């Protein structure tokens, strides 16, 4: 069944391929050919694969999504786009998988810093792209990565050279406008030695819940669209460098989202990831981090599921060398018939002595039909390490509800307060004010229950 879908895509590929970027680059053509071959043989991942056992992507297979071969921004309503655009940031806009110079705001970047669309990068700096593309994300991992390699139309390319500290964040807006569209982007972020940067990946559609809540947006919104986003981001954090990567996924409620972030950290590098998974009918994120000597990573996540949403987050932290530190906290709030999946693996290699690792996943179920599947895994091959993990799946604490009631708060409000407070811990970790406020608005707009009040903060 999987391969039948794959061959439909393969048949279509021949007509699309000439429009994909990097035609004149033999190494990329070879990479794409190999990826297409792999995808054609395997199709999309099957629940029979251990890493996909909780997530069935057959909904994607039933449709045939079509990539747009060129940039069409005619139906992009700049108003809803602006609502997601941070004021004090460099902003790169991708519409249906294509870079739009017109909508992007990249003035005033330090000269040595590159922020551009991937198609431009392949034209202007092909050698640098070749050096990195496909080296952090292993397409043998699963066929979504192969799919992305074969089909990507554009993406984000960021290079921050050594010792450069960016004073503003870089935001990339992945906007999808059409029904049955396919937005396949490949992104590369390179932060060299002792450099510092903050990058924000924002996945949005014009019929997102947040967009719909904007004043005056009503007319532009329309029906929720089914479409497919497949984004692969490869991240390279140099020695002693510091990168914070944010991901806010607010796709349409009928969308399918695959997003993979694959991070390689050099010695003493620091990497922080904040993953907010709010949208999509079915969303899967992979976050894989390779840690070198004494490097540190912090992975934070918040997923909010309502109706029949299925939100899956897969993290893998590879402690490859000694003295590295990893901290991970993922929280989920699931209502209605929503399902949340957390699979977190920490692998400590034989050489990785003095590893210090903590992984936690906490889930709040607001309805009897909601489901959380959580699977933390520690694989430790070294003998002198400090590793821990914790998992909870539960309802609100009745003692806390009574305490609030005894302080005049009615029961429903008490439940909302506690639920909101549970989620807000993750929002509070975001230190970019504009982004923090936007995510907070998103939580309030999407929150499963009514009557949540910002003043509770």
Partner 1 sequence: MLSIKNLHVSVGDKPILKGINLEIKAGEIHAIMGPNGSGKSTLSHVLSGKGGYTVTEGSATYQGKDLLEMAPEIRAREGVFLAFQYPVEIPGVSNIYLLKAALNSIRKHNGQPEVDAMDFLTLVKEKVRLLEMDEKFLYRAVNEGFSGGEKKRNEILQMAILEPKLCIMDETDSGLDIDALKIVSEGVNSLRSPDRAFVMVTHYQRLLDYIKPDFVHVLAHGQIVKSGGADLALELEEKGYSWVEDNQAAA
Under the rule (CB under 8 A), what is the footprint of partner 1? 397-400, 402-411, 417-418, 420-422, 424-425, 455-457
Give helix 26-42 / helix 143-151 axis angle, nearest 10°: 140
Query: In angstroms, what is the minimal distance from the CB of 137 to partner 1?
Result: 36
Query: In angstroms, what is the minimal distance from the CB of 439 to partner 1?
Result: 15
Query: In angstroms, what is the minimal distance from the CB of 443 to partner 1?
Result: 12
Annotate 370-391 with b (16+ C-beta within 10 A) or e (fewer).
bbbebebeeebebeebebeeeb
Query: In angstroms, what is the minimal distance from the CB of 437 to partner 1?
Result: 17
Nearer to partner 1, 138 or 425 (CB): 425
Nearer to partner 1, 369 or 428 (CB): 428
- Per the listing, tokens 């549970």 go with 422
Nearer to partner 1, 369 or 411 (CB): 411
Query: In angstroms, what is the minimal distance from the CB of 195 to partner 1?
Result: 34
Q: What is the DSSP string of 276-327?
A: EE---SEEEEEEEEEE-TT-EEEEEEEEEE-TT-EEEEEEEEEE-STT-EEE
Nearer to partner 1, 222 or 390 (CB): 390
CA 167 and chain centroid, separation: 23
Nearer to partner 1, 7 or 400 (CB): 400
Nearer to partner 1, 91 or 418 (CB): 418
Nearer to partner 1, 351 or 410 (CB): 410
Give helix 2-16 / helix 143-151 axis angle, nearest 10°: 20
CA dihedral 215, 220, 226, 231 (to 10 degrees): -70
Collapsed DSSP state (helix, strand, coil) of residue 50: helix
Query: In angstroms, what is the minimal distance from the CB of 13 to partner 1?
Result: 49
Centre a 10 Å sphere on the Cβ of residue 138 and count the other Cβ atoms it contains: 12
Query: In angstroms, what is the minimal distance from the CB of 407 to partner 1?
Result: 5
- Strands (DSSP E) contained in 167-241 are 170-176, 181-191, 196-205, 228-237
Dihedral sign from CA coordinates of 332, 302, 429, 361: positive
Nearer to partner 1, 14 or 406 (CB): 406
Query: In angstroms, what is the minimal distance from the CB of 417 to partner 1?
Result: 6
Nearer to partner 1, 48 or 407 (CB): 407
Query: In angstroms, what is the minimal distance from the CB of 447 to partner 1?
Result: 14
Structure tokens at 145: 């990565």
**CA 323, 274, 210: angle at the middle one, nearest 5?**
175
Dihedral sign from CA coordinates of 81, 175, 53, 391: negative
At 264, which helix (H) or strand (E)?
Answer: strand 256-265
């Amino acid at each position: 069944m999987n391969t039948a879908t794959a061959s439909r895509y393969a048949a279509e590929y021949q007509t699309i391929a000439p429009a994909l970027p990097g035609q004149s680059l033999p190494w990329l053509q070879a990479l794409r050919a190999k990826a297409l071959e792999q995808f054609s043989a395997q199709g999309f991942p099957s629940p029979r694969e251990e890493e996909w056992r909780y997530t069935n992507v057959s909904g994607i297979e039933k449709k045939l999504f079509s990539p747009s071969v060129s940039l069409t921004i005619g139906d992009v309503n700049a108003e809803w786009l602006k609502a997601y655009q941070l004021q004090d940031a460099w902003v790169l806009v991708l519409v249906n998988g294509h870079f739009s110079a017109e909508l992007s705001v990249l003035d005033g970047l330090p000269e040595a810093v590159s922020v551009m669309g991937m198609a431009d990068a392949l034209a202007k700096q092909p050698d640098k792209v070749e050096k990195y593309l496909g080296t952090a994300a292993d397409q043998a991992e699963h066929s979504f990565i192969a799919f992305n390699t074969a089909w990507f139309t554009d993406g984000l390319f960021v290079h921050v050279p050594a010792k450069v500290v960016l004073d503003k964040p870089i935001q990339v807006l992945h906007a999808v406008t059409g029904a049955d569209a396919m937005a396949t982007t490949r992104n590369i972020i390179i932060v060299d030695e002792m450099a510092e940067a903050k990058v924000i990946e924002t996945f949005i559609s014009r019929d997102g819940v947040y967009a719909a809540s904007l004043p005056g947006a009503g007319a532009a919104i329309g029906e929720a669209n089914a479409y497919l986003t497949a984004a692969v981001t490869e991240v390279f954090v140099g020695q002693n460098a510091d990168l914070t990567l944010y991901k806010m996924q607010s796709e349409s409620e009928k969308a399918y989202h695959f997003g993979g972030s694959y991070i390689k950290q050099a010695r003493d590098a620091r990497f922080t990831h904040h993953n907010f998974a709010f949208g999509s009918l079915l969303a899967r994120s992979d976050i894989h981090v390779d840690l070198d000597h004494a490097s540190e990573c912090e992975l934070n996540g918040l997923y909010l599921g309502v109706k029949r949403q299925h939100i899956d987050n897969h993290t893998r932290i590879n402690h490859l060398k000694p003295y590295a530190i990893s901290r991970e906290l993922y929280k989920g709030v699931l209502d209605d018939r929503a399902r949340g999946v957390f699979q977190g693996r920490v692998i400590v290699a034989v050489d990785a002595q003095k590893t210090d690792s903590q992984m936690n996943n906490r889930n709040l179920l607001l309805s009897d039909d909601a489901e959380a599947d959580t699977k933390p895994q520690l694989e430790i091959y070294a003998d002198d390490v400090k590793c821990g993990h914790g998992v909870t799946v539960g309802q609100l604490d009745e003692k806390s509800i009574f305490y609030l009631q005894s302080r005049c708060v009615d029961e429903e409000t008490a439940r909302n307060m506690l639920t909101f407070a549970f989620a807000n811990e993750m929002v509070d970790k975001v230190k970019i004010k504009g982004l923090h406020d936007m995510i907070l608005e998103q939580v309030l707009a999407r929150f499963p229950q009514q009557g949540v009040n910002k003043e509770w903060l």
